Amino acid sequence: MPAMHAFDVLGDPVRRRILELLADGQRAAGEITSIVQDEFGITQPAVSQHLRVLRESGFTSVQPVGARRLYAVDPVHLKEVDVWLEQFRRLWEESFERLDEVLSKMKKKEEKKHGRKDK
């Protein structure tokens, strides 16, 4: 399979859901398949394909345990996504800071109007 960019992998709602299911720890492939089939109405082979994409792109690891295959999130590529997003974080942090300033001014105005200071 050709190398996929992280956002190509994460752009698919089924793969994002699988990662969400794995966020709390390992799950068996059969359990993942059952949940995803119920939620998305796709076939077992389609779920297997999504699991393969996640595995081959490095977002998950798989450990055979007897006849079961246990999947887990491999955080390395998620960290790469986080590093990329860091450049944009300042944009929403600045928005929150401006919102805090506006709310603080509104609170002071309200306190002045009512002649009291609520702490």
pLDDT above 80 for 118:
no
Residue 85's pLDDT band, with cuts at 50, 70 and 90, is confident
Residue 4's pLDDT band, with cuts at 50, 70 and 90, is low
State the first-to-last Cα distance of the chain, in angstroms, to the nearest integer. Answer: 60
pLDDT digits (tens, 9 = 90+) for 37-68: 999 999 999 999 999 999 999 999 999 999 99
Distances (CA, A) of 11 to 35, 46, 118: 19, 16, 46
Q: State the chain's mean pLDDT as an integer.
A: 89
Distant-in-sequence, close-in-space partners of 64: CB < 8 Å, separation ≥ 6: 70
pLDDT above 80 for 94:
no
